[in-house]
Structure 1
Amino acid sequence: MTNSSQNVPLQRNPGDFGFCPLHQWGLIFIEGPDAASFLQNQLTNSVLGLKRTLSPEIARTPSSVRLAGYCSPKGRLLASAWLALVPRDSASDDRFALFISNDIAAGIAKRLAMYVLRSKVKVTDASHDWSVLGFCSITNQVNSLTLEENQIGLQMPDVEVHNQMYGRVLIAQAQPSGAMEDQDRVLSTWNDLEVLSAIPRIVQTTQEQFVPQMINLESVAGVDFKKGCYPGQEIVARSQYRGVIKRRLSLAHVPTDQLNGASFDPGVELFHSEDTSQPAGMVVLSSHAAFVEDRIDLQIECKSEALEHGEIRLGSIDGPVLKLDPLPYPLIEI
């Protein structure tokens, strides 16, 4: 998965890359002899056959890392997560690590635990006991990254910006992250790469707003239509094969000098110039641009017809006009 832009890039400082604490990310562990079968019945993607990754090895390939959604019975996303199979040691039961938005981690862990019943599974929200870090840099440096014995990690898809490939690794460690130099600048880079990847992440303000296809989850390998049942599976499948979804995730940006105080946080509604009676979509993720001066980058969910013509405005019908950017991947046709 790649992303490109026609804007002139900034001169980058090496301090803009490296490690940073990710306080917006949380961690849930699902472990036990029945952990794989339990998650297989809960998530939109298959977890069976995931390769075991032992610390300090990093889970790097599609055979070791999966993106998945967790839906309500109505097929609406309660969460999205990156997951890897990271047992405590080679002799231990399965243990899955779900990297998830911190503001929903406790609620999702509690909900998953409700469905354990007689399964030999333990669900733990480890967000308070484990710190989540991010490492981002050019892909070659990310590919050579090594972790410490007390850390677990998974590599996310690369992102292309201005013809340069950047890699990202999510890391968890069972201790505080401590102080890091230039962490604000590194965090800014991490956040912008996440937005530019066009891979969505559900946060509290966007829970139950989207069927997976509305934010392209099936196009970024987050849905397996051949697996068995999970909450909302019938609705997700019907949306795919009957073509009833007419909304999509897109990338956009807005110059900061045009915001005029408008909020660009996830959940902020969007309006279309040709239909002022109701919102046309909402912000999924956003960040201050790290590669182009004085702009905000956004992932937006919007009606497909609104993306094709007219103006999309942020926050209100009189809000700033968003400029659309190309997606870094092809969409699976619905």
Structure 2
Amino acid sequence: MHTSWLTAEQYASLSSTVTGAFIAPLPAFDSLLISGADNRKYLQGQTTCDLDSLTDDNFLHGAHCDAKGKMWSQFYLASIGEQLVTVAFRDELNASATQWKKFGVFSKVSFEAGQQHYAVFGIGGGDANSLVSKLGFSLPQPGGLSRHQGALLMALAQHHFLLLMPLNDAKTLMTTSLPFAAPNVWLAQHIQHGFSYLEQELIGALVPQMLNLQALNAISFTKGCYIGQETVARLKYRGGNKRAAYILQADTTELPAAGTDIELQLGDNWRRSGQVVNAANINNTLWLIAVLPNDITPADPLRLSSESATALRFVPLPYSIN
């Protein structure tokens, strides 16, 4: 845990057994501030999302790819005055920041780590909307953004929010009696909504369509050129992508790491068919989002490639990937 706003004692006190609405500190997520006269123009040529569609009332979900269309990161992007801010899992944000800084020397753009300015929280649960109101925000619809006293609330889906809060306010918030939850509670909900993020093991390994980003409005096919655009566009217009992300569930105490193999039964044999992207275990219920062949069906037997060979079952995606 690398954070200056959440103490070890506070982190240890967080529970995975909350019911109803909750707010979860997300110390593994971070932000990056992008300043300079060319910040929008620069990111427009670097990412899959269309910066021209960014307003004060929305945020963008996007990805940053290498020249071959493999992702360094996927992220959420918003404006703070003339600045831009990206929020993502720390592994992938660091990977993108390294690349952006390398090529940004040719543009009027600068980058600053956000960890000394902002903290990241997740809000969720069936009555999350009431908690949003209690925190002073107007309720944004999915894709929308609400602002309150310097904090940004992004509605990723119904009852599923990402909150970027000024650091001192976050420290104060952690001393209140709000219904705090462990990060894995929000991460399990993130998986259940069909969202994902890139941990170190999979950075540079997947194209955006493998994580269903075309179905999550995280790819603009009309904005023009950006790094990796040729590959991403070819997969849409000419086909060729044979993999997609799926939600899986199991009854187990296991928590497989990103990149763990998933095996498919073919006759009497088991063969590697996919891999874990993200996992969360809540009270011995394992939730996974995994990359698998896009012709897989719920009838196909799957298991973790582990000593226990845990059987996995499909959970329907909340959106269509066709």
Query: Do both share a fold (TM > 0.5)?
Result: yes
Q: Deviations over 1:265-312 (max 9, x none)?
A: 2221111112867521111111123xxx53111111101234454311
Could you tell me how far 1:316 is from its partner in structure 2?
4.4
Code of the aligned partner of 1:245: N
Aligned ranges for residues 150-161 of structure 1 at < 5 Å? 151-159=150-158
Q: Deviations over 1:122-167 (max 9, x none)?
A: 11222354322223342532553426966331323224xxxxxx23
Distance 2:178 2:153 in 1: 23
Structure 1 residue 267 corresponds to structure 2 residue 259: yes
Is the contact between residue 270 and residue 281 of structure 1 (CA under 8 Å) also seen in structure 2?
yes
TM-score (norm 2): 0.81
Distance 2:320 2:214 in 1: 11
Is the contact between residue 105 and residue 127 of structure 1 (CA under 8 Å) also seen in structure 2?
no
Q: List alignment gaps of at least 5 residues for structure 1.
A: 1-11, 53-58, 88-93, 160-165
TM-score (norm 1): 0.78
Aligned residues: 291
Code of the aligned partner of 2:124: C
1:18 aligns with: 22
Q: Percent identity over the alignment?
A: 22
2:273 aligns with: 280
Distance 1:329 1:265 in 2: 25
Return closer, same or farther for 1:183/1:140 CA change in 2, 3 Å cut-off: closer
Q: What SS does structure 1 have at the residue aligned with 2:279?
A: strand
Structure 1 residue 251 corresponds to structure 2 residue 247: yes
Is the contact between residue 65 and residue 154 of structure 1 (CA under 8 Å) also seen in structure 2?
no
Is the contact between residue 215 and residue 301 of structure 1 (CA under 8 Å) also seen in structure 2?
yes
Q: What SS does structure 1 have at the residue aligned with 2:233?
A: helix
Return closer, same or farther for 1:149/1:249 CA change in 2, 3 Å cut-off: closer
Is the contact between residue 21 and residue 128 of structure 2 (CA under 8 Å) also seen in structure 1?
no
Aligned ranges for residues 108-147 of structure 1 at < 5 Å? 108-137=96-125, 138-141=127-130, 144=133, 145-146=135-136
Code of the aligned partner of 2:193: S
Pick aligned residue for 2:36 from 25, 32, 35: 32
Please report the RMSD computed on the Cα atoms of aligned residues, expressed in angstroms: 2.6
Shifted more, 213-222 versus 147-156: the winner is 147-156
Code of the aligned partner of 2:97: A
1:295 aligns with: 285
Is the contact between residue 142 and residue 169 of structure 1 (CA under 8 Å) also seen in structure 2?
no
2:314 aligns with: 324
